[in-house]
Structures are given as C-alpha cells and as structure tokens.
Amino acid sequence: MVNRYSIEEFIKNTEQVDKGEGFFELETPRILEVNLDGLVWAKSGAMISYSGKIKFEREGLLENGIGHMFKKAFTGEGATLMKANGKGKLYLADSGKKIIILNLQNEAIHVNGNDLLAFETSIKHNIKLMKKVAGMMAGGLFNVRCEGTGMIAITSHYEPLTLRVTPGNPVITDPNATVAWSGNLQPEFQTDISLKTFVGRGSGESIQMRFEGDGFVIVQPFEEVNMQVSSS
C-alpha cells in the first residue's frame, strides 16, 4: 500500500519534535538527536544533520595514549571516533540500524566497535583488540569498553535479544551477530570445525565467542559479515 500525502501532511507526520528527554533523545527509532551544549563522542560518519554552532574533529591516534592507538580499523571502513563540540542539535544515524540508549550508573559494558554510535564525555572508553576474529567481523578487530556514569547509544540491526549468562551455563555467540556484553565478562574464542559446512567463511571454520560467568550478552538477528580490516 502506497502512502500518499500532501506536502503539508508529510511535514506534519515527519517533522522533528522536541520531546524534552534531555541530552540523548530518540527522534525516531533509527535517528539519535543529541541536544549538544559542550562535547560528545560519536562514530565518524554518523552525522546526518545538525543545527547551531558545532565543530567536528576526528580522534587523534594518540589522543588517549598509546593504549588507544587503533590506526584506521575501528569500523572496518577506516572510520574512527569523532568529537562534536559546540551548541546545537546533532542528528546521528548508522545505516538505518535501530538505536538503543543505555544510561550507565557507575557500570561497564563492552560494545562491538561497529555498534557504538555515541557516548557522553563522562564515560571512559578503552578500545580492545580481538586478534582471533580479525577479518571475521565488520570491524571485528575491536570492541570498546565503556565505563562510568552517563549515556551511551548503541546500534542493532533489527530487534536485539539479551541473553543471560549464569555460572555453569555459558552462552555461545557468532561474533558477527554479537552487539555488546556486560563489563565483567571476558569472552573466549573457540573454533567449531563441525560447523564449517554451514557457514560461508573463507577459512572453512566457525569462530565463536564463549561467555562464562554472571552477566549478559546482546545479539542481533543479523550477521555483519566480513569487511576487510585495514591495518595501515
């Protein structure tokens, strides 16, 4: 069924509306509005519009010390984080993915580098290298540990599912479908040769993430399969 609008009707049905929700506001399920008065971190390339006086700057390779050096491979497409600084309204989106706002209360969460959209400056971020899944994920070399008190926005293809991890009941996930996991969990990587005929991996193997302990894992019903990660 084709929806038909007059121009006036279309504007009324789609125009931006202030909801008064604060710093991060979901303008639509797939567009994040940042009511900016200062600084915010965001995924480079995620800006779709802004109003006001806002300046953008890519994160320097050594800005947060040698431990944060990650060259060009943050998302698998050469993108990094950017800083948006100023006062105005900033609109962020990422390939039409669903956006989830999480309000951390002195907590930590690990987010797949491809699924972190934005976060407040009160959140400490530390980029972690996952060598064993190099080339397997879209940006799969990296996940980002976000810790502290403040808001972060993560993305998911379609509706995410959260799986509880309890002692003695590990959860196994496909790295390409894994969005985030609780800060206290440290996944192990395992190879399941028996699955090699069911997956289209160039290596002929299935690499999985194994979570053990007490926490949660967020997965999406979509595999962000293989974009070659640059190391230059």
Query: pLDDT tens, 130-174?
Result: 766 555 554 446 789 999 999 999 999 999 999 999 999 999 998
Domain boundaries, the chain: 21-219
- Class of residue 222 by CB neighbours under 10 A (exposed 0-12, middle 13-18, buried 19+): middle
Say if residues 82 and 129 touch (Cβ distance below 8 Å): no
The one-character DSSP state at 222 is: S
Q: Three-state SS for 148?
A: strand
Side chain identity at residue 77, one-letter code: E
Contact predicate 174/102, CB 8 Å: no
Dump pLDDT digits (tens) for 27-40: 999 999 999 999 99
Of the ranges 63-67, 189-193, 210-214, 221-225, which one carries the lowest mean pLDDT score? 63-67
> Would you state the pLDDT for residue 199?
53
Pick 210 or 14 by higher pLDDT. 210
Question: Which tokens is 177 given?
Answer: 């479908």
User: For 105-118, what is each residue's pLDDT tens digit?
Assistant: 999 999 988 899 99
- Say what the pTM is: 0.82
Residue 115's nearest CA partner among 67, 176, 163, 171 is: 176
The rounded distance, in Å, linking the Cα atoms of 204 and 124 is: 38
Is the domain defined by 21-219 classed in CATH 3.60.160.10?
yes
Q: What is the 3-state secondary structure (H, E, C) of 46-80?
A: CEEEEEEEEEEEECCCCCCCHHHCCCCCCCCCCCC
109 with 66: CB under 8 angstroms? no
The C-alpha atoms of residue 103 and residue 81 are separated, in whole angstroms, by: 20
E strand map for 94-141? 98-112, 116-120, 123-129
Beta bridge partners of 35: 89
